[in-house]
A and B are shown apart, each in its own frame.
Chain A
Amino acid sequence: MSQLEIKNLHVAIGEKEIVKGLTLTIQSGEVHAIMGPNGTGKSTLSKAIAGHPDYTITSGEVLLDGKSILELEADERARAGLFLAFQYPSEIPGVSIANFLRAAQQARMAEGEELDASAYYKRLYSKMDLLKIDRKFTSRSVNEGFSGGEKKRCEILQMAMLEPKFSLMDETDSGLDIDALRIVADGVNTMRGPNLGVLLITHYQRLLDYIVPDHVHVMWDGRIVKSGDKSLALELEAKGYDWVKKELAAATA
């Protein structure tokens, strides 16, 4: 059992504060969804936790199993068990998915230890079968010339292979068509289980038709302003974000 704790987190890009004191705890086995309008800091939150150099954590804590990860480099956080499914994943020309994942696995091994190539491919193929991905897919260069759906498939396959403790899935505003939505949903549902915690970032409720969350949080202006179970997402869908805004205004008035 693992635990990811975000405590009163403040994040800035340059001088501008984007996340303004966010607190959230995720346990293994749980799926949390963060919803909110554009520009409210959802993507910033996930990138800051993953250790992107452009995002400065000005105060607060992020603890993985009780230990702070804020002093760790992005790659160290990844090896500690954090995975970020990118909204806009980078292209890596000339590097096949299979070789990329192999390098990522090799990076997790002790110095001097060599990855067993045949065991690796066996595992890769079993994950691909599980996710119903064509064998030819992994000989293509990472994300190069990929459609939106292919990019999602590539992220999900990486997640399946790297078996993180926590996956931060940044799906905001990516204009997912229904196929891409299904790929993400099927992937997460397949991997869902006691060893994986998920933070699902989404703008629209419809993704939650496919991935049913245990907890739903509404983010507004850099903070979580409302939390509830899956019914909160439906309420939000019905009433719109203005409803939250009004409630908030009433509370602070």
Chain B
Amino acid sequence: MGLLDPPGFRRNRHGQVWMHLQQGERQLVAQLLDQLAELLAPPEPRQPVDPLEELVGIDPGAVRPADPALARLFPDAYTDPEAADEFRRFTQRDLRTGKLAHLELVRATLERKDPTRLSPDEADAWLRTLNDLRLTLGTRLAVSEDGPQPFLDLDEDDPRRGMYLVYDWLTYHQDRLVHALEKGAPR
């Protein structure tokens, strides 16, 4: 993959996944990661923390997030609200930790020389983090299956228009990455 190739993710003939992003694109992703990390940051722990609960990863204070974007990142696992709340207390902390770990793996790849080869773990972290960013922006924008037109019809200075262009950029690159990872997989 050379610097003249279009930016994005690509699988080479040896089966390696490479990433090439322009400087401005790296900066954009880094800013989005900062915002997502802030959104995902765990709430202040209750004092005192029960050492046994801490050890087994139970979060007795875990509730359905009020923020719709967070509620989409941490959805109910049961349609019954009581069962969903119970399950959340046992799983939400690990899910949050996992998302933050993927985010940090992605952040580390942005600091390397461009273009850069992604390990399978890094490619997986990119895939999931691109999706978390799209879920967050998509929820904020209330995207539907009607396509891009409603957003392209917005005034030039409407902030949602710019946000949609970012969302669209993330969508394009996530799709490219899926195909890079699939190429060569048995069909």
**A and B: interacting chains:** no
